[in-house]
Every structure is written in C-alpha cells, then in structure tokens.
Structure 1
C-alpha cells in the first residue's frame, strides 16, 4: 500500500498547515577513522601524559602494580633515612648516630630518588620530547632539585642541612597518590572491560550430528552453533531451532529478558535463558555488534572535546606558572635573607603542590565513566562534542515510525459487510494475499492471522497493483486488497465507519469487484512516548515530529502526544530542509532517525541521534546511537549529557580553584605563622586529584536516576 508523498508540511500546532521552504541538502556522511584493534581505557603512564587515556588494559594493570611495588619498597628504605635525619631527630627529640652515617643515608636516599622517582624522571623526558611540559616535569624538577641540593650539602660543597627525609616522604606520597589515581581511572573504564568480557572465547559448533568446541574467532558466516541454557551467546546470529528468554541487559540496557524464537536475531554476549538454541552465524569477529560497541566507546573515549582542549590548555599554563612561581619564590626568599635550604624547600613545595594533576585527569575521567556507562545502557556515543552539547538543544525532531510509534502495524479492526462471510474468513483471505508482500501493513495483517491461528487459502495469479494494492485468484474468484484510492478510482462508495480516530490505515477487500469488508491497522504509539515528550518540554525543549504519513494521521499522533509541531508527508531526503529551517530560526536542533534514510538530516542536525534495535549500530552519520528505540532513552541521553558537562565544569573549577589557594600557601605568604612542607603539599595535590576522581564517579548516580 504505497503512500503518496508531497513536499513537507508543517503544522505549528496540529491543524494549521504551512509550507516549509526548499533548501539545499546537507552533506550525507560524516566518516570516522577505523582502528584495527580494541584498546582498553587507561592512563598513559608510559610518557606520563595525563591528558591521554589510551593503552592496553594489561599494561595499565602492570603499571598500577609497579607503582604499588615501588611505593612499598621505598617506604621500607625510607624508614632508616627518616630515622637518621638530623632534622627529624631534632623534631622528635632523640639522637642516633654511627660511623659512616652520612654515606649510608646518601646511598639510601639515592636509591629512593632513582628507583622511586624513576617514573617521574622518565615522564619528564617524555613530556619534554613532546614539547608538553606538565605534571611529570614539575615533580621531576622538584625532587631533582631537592636531591642535588642535599647531595651537595652531604659532600660539603654547600653549607646547610640536607632534607633527604623530606625527599623520601615526598616520593613515597607521590607514588601512593599516583597509585590511587590510576586505580580510579581503571575503575572508570570498568564498564568497557565488562562489555569486552561478555564475549565468550569458545563456541559449540554444530556440523551435522557432530558438536565440537571451537574458538569463536574461527567461526564463519553461515556456521551453526549450539547455545545451552545459561551460556553466553558467542556470536551474532539468527535462531534456527529452539526458543528461550535472552538477557541483553548489558548490551541494550533493557532489564527484562526478551523472548526469542526461530528467525529472531540474537547478539553476541547476551545470556541465554532456559532453552537450548541453535544459531546461524550472521556476523563474525570485528563485524559483531559487541565489537562495534567496543570500538565506538574507545573512539569516543579517545576523542578530545572542546572541554578537554580547555583543560589541556589550562594544565599547560599552570605548568609554566608553577615553574615561574617556583623560581620567583626561590629568588624572593634569597633576597629576603633566608638561607638556600629554606628557599629551595619553598620552591620545591610550590612545584609539587601546584602540579596540574587534577586538571590533567578532570576531563578524561568523566569521559571514561560517561562513555562506559552509556554503552552499558544502550547509548553509544560516536561524537563526544555533540554529546556534551546536548545541553544546548532547544528543538528535538522525532521521526515517527519506530521512534514515537512501535514501527509495526497492528490490526485494530476487522469489519465484514457481507453476512455470509465472517470476520475470520475475510481476515484469512486478506492475509493469503498479503503474505506475498513485504510492506509493513501487509506484515501486520499476516501477523494478526497467525495470532488467531487461521488457515490461509491457496491463491493463484498474484499481482501487485502499483500504489493501489494486490490481487489474486482464490477458488476461481478474483480477490483484491486495495487502498481507498482504488475505491475512488472505481467509484465504489466507502463505508462511513471505515475511518475511525484518524490514526488508522484502512485496506479494503473486494471479491469480483464487490466490496465485502475492510481491515483497519494502526502503528501504535509507544507506551513511553508521552513521558519522553513531557520531560523534554519541561526542560525547555520544543518537540516536533517528521513523518511521511498523511496530515490526518500525523496530526492525530501529534495531538495525542502534545507536540509543539508536526511535519507531515515528508520524504526521507526532505527532512534535512526541516532541520535547516529550524536552525535558521536560531534553534539548536537534535534529529532522531534510523541512520540510513535520514542520513542528510542527521548530518545537518547539531546533534544527530540514530535509533534502532539489535545489531543496527552502523549509523555512520549519527553522533549518538541508541540501541533501543525507546523515546525515554533519548530523554535520558539529553539529561545525562547535561550531567556529564556539569561534572566536567565542576572538576575544572575545583582543579583551578585549588591551585589559586595552594600556590600562595606553598610559596610561604603566611610565614612564619604557617609553613607548608613539601610532603604536606604532595598530600594536598594527591587529595585534589582524588576529589576530582570521586566527583566524576558521582556520574554513576546520575545515570541510575535516568
């Protein structure tokens, strides 16, 4: 039953039509780089660049263990260094000395500097090589200055008191702080790791009567695999035997298991319920839904947004400020008459306390958490900037079919006009013809006949009447299933009660050109559509609908949902004009569509959202992909995008605000009333980073409330 389409019509309020001006089409494709293999998220400590978060999960785990190992070893070695320090002995009030004490302390302190400080020293080299001095540069300069000065005092080159014990405690605290921070980052990427772990390594391959266990990566399209009750599904595929409830919660965010049977599609990583299934492989390896999810999440986590660039610039400036203030502090205290030891201690404290560590992790932590959790909830982010800019959305354009509605026509009424033909007989006759068609309306009629377990009569001479319907011969009689247009063309009067509430599509059944009845169908509005529309409107977003349906149907749906406007009789490639028109009026537009027919509009929109279930995740033009087609998921996405941006700004404000206070304290502006030691400065710096990490973790609460 082909629908006639015309130029887009806009009804600002359902019932008032207005023409939308034609404009040029937008670019139809936004590409993205392909990456060959999965990368688990983590802090790149190989060069200690805390603005980057991409290297192997195994390497990251080894780095965490290495920092912890260095911390414990240095703690043990620090005990005698601290105990033998003259300054510490004077502070505590005891005396301890023995021959060759100074060389012993020098050797132990050198070990702590080289072994414990090695990650920071190599980080310095990496940052300077990349011409991006940052946190590692500051820490390395600070501990090197303290070490060189203390060595010079120990060997008699300079007069004064060494502070080997401050150096030892400083390195110990820095190692512990880094360990805690790296554990936080590892936790932030846990959601992605859980997704990766969902894919089994083995599968039960069926070859005739033989069942053998094989590696999943050896499977090819068309192979048959057996999935026993309770096992994870090893590969994307179609069920060819059996039925079971499938738990796809970690893949789609849908908590209720979905009942699947023959011909239904299943996704790798989902958990099989109580029934055994045989599945024909449809996607393997990198083409599987799960791998596409992992790849998209990694790309989103690795991509830098405007907010990230802002944090990077701030961290860079703070590094130069810290170095400059450190040198100025050294010179100022020397000019003030203080000894070299005191001046160097103030300089070291400034550099350690004001490390831009919190700034370096403020945004990447939020990125890792938000993209990981989103993926586990069925929200796949391809464009981080678009996701963060969800807060700016002022207009949301929904595609109707499959988004606001279920996308599957269901029979609402079956009416026979002949007393000798009952409802079941007419429906079976209609379904017999429609089973030859792939049209959604035809599929809805066939589904209804199957629900009623009707036996369909045999047909012959099947023909499709372009734009009007279908015909065939049944028991020697010509049967037609046609649209209202056919009745008008043949001057056959339509029953007065055929069209009811305006949202139904009606097909008429004729036998030998005599009207015997009709079947009414409707694309049912989703249960959560009204809630989604209301929530968006409450947040100040105008909600529109674009559909290819006729004005009567479009207005009826818009009225029931309370939309701000509706565009009717729109061809897929005309939706881009709708988006452009709204943008010309100053609106920040989000467009939702299926990612294929709506490609121009998705590309033109400020935020393009592709909706679709199952394995349809390859919407190249969309910024964000929703695995489920639930309208409330779109609302959740907007709200979560706002929460993510808020966390980024909070972290930036905390990280910069902390340094505004820390720099003067470290420089000694409150001396002699208050003096900040290098060790306490390191504690404060590490504490600032932990606070940023904990604040980012609060995003999980925001997601739970959606």
Structure 2
C-alpha cells in the first residue's frame, strides 16, 4: 500500500499556551487593579478639596450645604471599591495566621474610615478621609505595577511556548496521519521531516540527523542524533528524516518543565519580600499596641474619650508605612522587568538577590559570549573549474529553503555578498549526510565529512583550522569542488561586557 499523508500548514498560533487560563486571569487582575486605581484617584481629587485639613493647610475654603456628606459618600465609595483588595487580603492573612502588609494597610484604612465617618455624624474630632484615599491610591498603584512586571516577565514564557508545533505526523502502520500535538500519547511513533520542529520528547528508532537545540540548551552547534538518542520537543530537525517514539508529552515534557519552573519562581517571594512582610506583621502589632496605649495614657491623664480617641487614630493611621508598601513592589517590578527584557529567567528570587555578592563569573561560550547562530568564516574552491564565490553560490541554491542553522548561515553570507541565488531542481535529502539538487545544469551536493569518508573522497588539509568550526563540503558533478566553514560568531558586546565585569571586581 502507498503511504498516505495529509499535508497541513502548521499554525503555531492555534496551539494553546501553557497555563493560558492562569495567564488570562492574571491579565484580568491587572486590569481590575488598574481600573480601581484610576477610579479611586479621580474621586480622590474632590475628597482632597473637601477635606478641612487640606483646606486649612493650603488656606482656602470650599464649603456648601451638605459638603461633609458628599465627602463621606465619596470616601465610602473609595474605601469599599478601591480598598476591597486590601480588606480581602486582611481576611486571607488572618485566616492563615500570618498578618502582613495587607493587614497593616487594611487596619489603617479601616480605622481612618470608621473614625472619620463617626466625626461626620457628630463625634468631635478631625477627619482623616484625605489620608484614607491617598493611602489606597498609593497602595493600588504599587500592586498594579508589581503585577504588570510579572506579566511582562511571563512573555518570555510565551516565546518558549511558540517553539512547539501545533501538529505532528503520527505513524499508523503503513500510513501517516497529522494529529494535534496534545493528542499524542506515550509510545506513539511520529515522523519528523527535514526542517520541521520536534513535536514531543522521545527516542529515535529510525534515521539520523542534526538537530538545532539552541533555544532549549543554548548550544548553537547542531547536535548529531541517531538511533536510540533522545530528542527534545521544540528542537529543529536538520536535513534527515526521523522516526521517534514519544517518551514525554504535556506536563512531563522538558519544555513544560522549564516553563513550570519559571512560573513557580514568579509566584514565590524573595528574601526581601518576606522581610517586608515580617516588618509589616510587627508594625501591625506595634500599631495596635501603641494605639491602645495612646488611648489609655490620654484617658489616665484625665482627657476626655474623644480627645484620646483622636490621638489613638492618628497614631494608627500614621503607623502604616506608605513607602514600604510601594517600595517593595517597585523593586520587584523593575528587577523582574529588566531581567526579562535581557533574556534572564529568574528561577529563584532569593538567589537573584544574592547575586550582588558574586565575585567570579563562569561563562558558557555558546549563545552567551557568541551570537548563538552560525556564520560563514571561510569558504574555498579546491578545483580550477569553479571560483570560491561560484562554489558558495551553487551551495546556497540547495540551502535557501532549509531551516537548518548551517543553511541559514550560507544563505546569509551569499546575501551579504549580494550574489543572486540560482534555482534548484530535483531537490533530495541524503539521509543524515546532506542534500543534493540540480543547479544550472550541474549535479550539486552539500554534504558532511561523513559522506566524503563513505565515498572514499580525500578531505583537503586546508579544510580544517584550529578554530571551532563546522565544515561542509560542496561536490559538483561527483567531484569535490570546495568547502564552507561556519562558526558561531562572537557577540560584538562580549568584549565590553567582560571588561566591565573585570573593572567592577
């Protein structure tokens, strides 16, 4: 029977991202904090203008019939709407038996609101509505910025997710069926064609090829894979076809484990954040103790209850540190965002904070000090029939449609030289060895050193140098015509970075 294949264009956008629902929930929470902040801030303006203490401080008057009731209504809305996340956080922290920042904020705004409301309805004293609304506004913006930074860092995860193809070629006996990646099961047999992405972790049972795992491991040089070797989902296959037995899918896959590690790191708190929570817990105890002590002392000194109560509320409201509630989220936000923008995925926040104590750095060369992609370093002709540029041109015709890193490097070089790439006909992949095609009437092959050994063709001594290079050979009409050496190029900023590290040590 003939093999039956369904050809589909892979659409990576159809592949649901890892933790998609959690990601959307996080976005909704950000929008919620953003909305609460802007609504509360806009309503805080009339609250400030109507507050007697602000009017006295700036020497102006804004008094009309029922102005205190308007002030109470606006402040009530901000307290319940803007302060709701902190009130909810208070109950959550008390339930866990670990009062922290939310408890401290909630106590401060509740004391300010209840006391100020009592003043509006007849109790003697000063109102703290302006303190209440500004405290809520500041805390809302702090938490909004922090949550935005975490979402920004998770965009790095989306890049990892996009590496997985949407479909796989599942082998059913003598025919092949395209199925969704999420439908794959352990021990399924899948076919991976040249240039395609590996859809799942597995073990090769047939074929050999070179795989680009640079986005997963940082190693830019294609890794040779043969029977019984493991392949990682998300890697890019070279010029060979592979049959792979699926080993891990879904949550068990290598890529998803990496994503899970980063997601868990984003949820964990650093040493500084735990210290801030500890400080907030003690400040809560201190605020309550000092507040009650203040009330008791003024009463013992013979002052009336309303006078003593006003002093107690003042102490408890002032004890809530605006700076602590805003500074910690800002530090986390900025450090997380800047790290993500520079490709640094933080697995452990405490370890990240301790990085300030680093005294020595050991670099991985590939993809760190180097660009992580291949560039042509040398190319030569070994025959009088073709010039070096003609050898490169004919080779580029075979490589122009391939996703292989070596092919990309060759095509990039020919484009840099502004040489037109000819068309290739009768293209064929030589399993695990290279590719061949008809170009401008010539039979052209771009092959590995292994092919030359198999065909008993002598490798020119000049083909290899002391540099860490990958060399491919060009055969034209069954005769060795030249070679192309490629290497991972050094990043232009590497020298400056190492120099700066040495200066700072």
* TM-score bracket relative to the smaller structure: 0.5 to 0.7
What is the rounded CA distance, in whole Å, between the counterparts of 2:353 and 2:120 in structure 1? Answer: 57
What is the rounded CA distance, in whole Å, between the counterparts of 1:387 and 1:159 in structure 2? Answer: 49
Deviation at 1:371, TM superposition (A): 11
Q: What is the CA RMSD across the aligned residues, in angstroms?
A: 5.4
> Is 1:172 matched up with 2:146?
no
Indicate if the aligned counterparts of 2:202 and 2:248 stay in contact, CA closer than 8 A: no
Q: 1:292 to 1:312 in 2, by over 3 A?
A: same
What is the rounded CA distance, in whole Å, between the counterparts of 2:289 and 2:194 in structure 1? Answer: 66
- Taking structure 1 as the reference length, the TM-score comes to 0.41
Deviation at 1:342, TM superposition (A): 6.4
Indicate if the aligned counterparts of 1:319 and 1:356 stay in contact, CA closer than 8 A: no
Q: CA-to-partner distance for each residue in 1:250-286, whole Å, 9 max, x for gaps?
A: 32123x251556546432123457x585442432323
Deviation at 1:340, TM superposition (A): 5.5
The structure showing larger relative contact order (alpha-carbon pairs under 8 Å, at least 6 residues apart) is 1
Match of 1:561 in 2: none
What is the rounded CA distance, in whole Å, between the counterparts of 2:329 and 2:289 in structure 1? Answer: 19
Q: CA-to-partner distance for each residue in 1:10-54, whole Å, 9 max, x for gaps?
A: xxxxxxxxxxxxxxxxxxxxxxxxxxxx9979xxxxxxxxxxxxx
**Alignment of structure 1 residues 36-435 onto 2, 5 Å:** 56-156=22-122, 158-192=123-157, 194-207=159-172, 208-226=174-192, 229=195, 232-238=197-203, 240=206, 243=209, 246=212, 248-254=213-219, 256-258=220-222, 260=224, 263=227, 265-271=230-236, 275=239, 277-285=241-249, 286-297=251-262, 313-314=278-279, 316-325=281-290, 341=310, 344-353=313-322, 355=324
What is the rounded CA distance, in whole Å, between the counterparts of 2:449 and 2:192 in structure 1? Answer: 31
Deviation at 1:66, TM superposition (A): 1.1
Q: CA-to-partner distance for each residue in 1:366-410, whole Å, 9 max, x for gaps?
A: 89999999986xx988x988997998999x9xxxxxxxxxxxxxx
Q: 1:131 to 1:189 in 2, by over 3 A?
A: same
SS in 2 for 1:124: helix
SS in 1 for 2:127: coil
- Taking structure 2 as the reference length, the TM-score comes to 0.54
Deviation at 1:222, TM superposition (A): 3.5
Match of 1:560 in 2: none
What is the rounded CA distance, in whole Å, between the counterparts of 1:451 and 1:290 in structure 2? Answer: 36
**Alignment of structure 1 residues 527-538 onto 2, 5 Å:** none
Indicate if the aligned counterparts of 2:271 and 2:350 stay in contact, CA closer than 8 A: no
Indicate if the aligned counterparts of 2:192 and 2:241 stay in contact, CA closer than 8 A: yes
Deviation at 1:67, TM superposition (A): 0.7
Indicate if the aligned counterparts of 1:216 and 1:234 stay in contact, CA closer than 8 A: no
SS in 1 for 2:124: coil
Deviation at 1:204, TM superposition (A): 4.1
Q: CA-to-partner distance for each residue in 1:643-679, whole Å, 9 max, x for gaps?
A: xxxxxxxxxxxxxxxxxxxxxxxxxxxxxxxxxxxxx
Deviation at 1:148, TM superposition (A): 0.8
SS in 2 for 1:351: coil
What is the rounded CA distance, in whole Å, between the counterparts of 1:64 and 1:222 in structure 2? Answer: 41
Indicate if the aligned counterparts of 1:326 and 1:351 stay in contact, CA closer than 8 A: no
**Alignment of structure 1 residues 507-522 onto 2, 5 Å:** none
What is the rounded CA distance, in whole Å, between the counterparts of 2:248 and 2:274 in structure 1? Answer: 37
Q: 1:144 to 1:185 in 2, by over 3 A?
A: same
Match of 1:458 in 2: none
Q: 1:310 to 1:109 in 2, by over 3 A?
A: closer
Q: CA-to-partner distance for each residue in 1:166-193, whole Å, 9 max, x for gaps?
A: 3222212221111112223334555455
What is the rounded CA distance, in whole Å, between the counterparts of 1:269 and 1:298 in structure 2? Answer: 19
Deviation at 1:120, TM superposition (A): 0.5
What is the rounded CA distance, in whole Å, between the counterparts of 1:210 and 1:366 in structure 2? Answer: 48
Indicate if the aligned counterparts of 1:245 and 1:272 stay in contact, CA closer than 8 A: yes
Indicate if the aligned counterparts of 2:113 and 2:132 stay in contact, CA closer than 8 A: yes
Which ranges of structure 1 fall in alignment gaps of 5 or more residues?
A: 1-37, 42-54, 397-446, 456-525, 528-700
**Alignment of structure 1 residues 556-705 onto 2, 5 Å:** none
What is the rounded CA distance, in whole Å, between the counterparts of 1:211 and 1:365 in structure 2? Answer: 48
Indicate if the aligned counterparts of 1:39 and 1:298 stay in contact, CA closer than 8 A: no
What is the rounded CA distance, in whole Å, between the counterparts of 1:312 and 1:200 in structure 2? Answer: 43
SS in 2 for 1:167: helix
What is the rounded CA distance, in whole Å, between the counterparts of 1:308 and 1:101 in structure 2? Answer: 42
SS in 2 for 1:224: strand
Indicate if the aligned counterparts of 1:222 and 1:281 stay in contact, CA closer than 8 A: yes
Deviation at 1:111, TM superposition (A): 1.1
Match of 1:453 in 2: 454
Q: 1:140 to 1:266 in 2, by over 3 A?
A: same
> How many residue pairs are counted as aligned between the two chains?
361
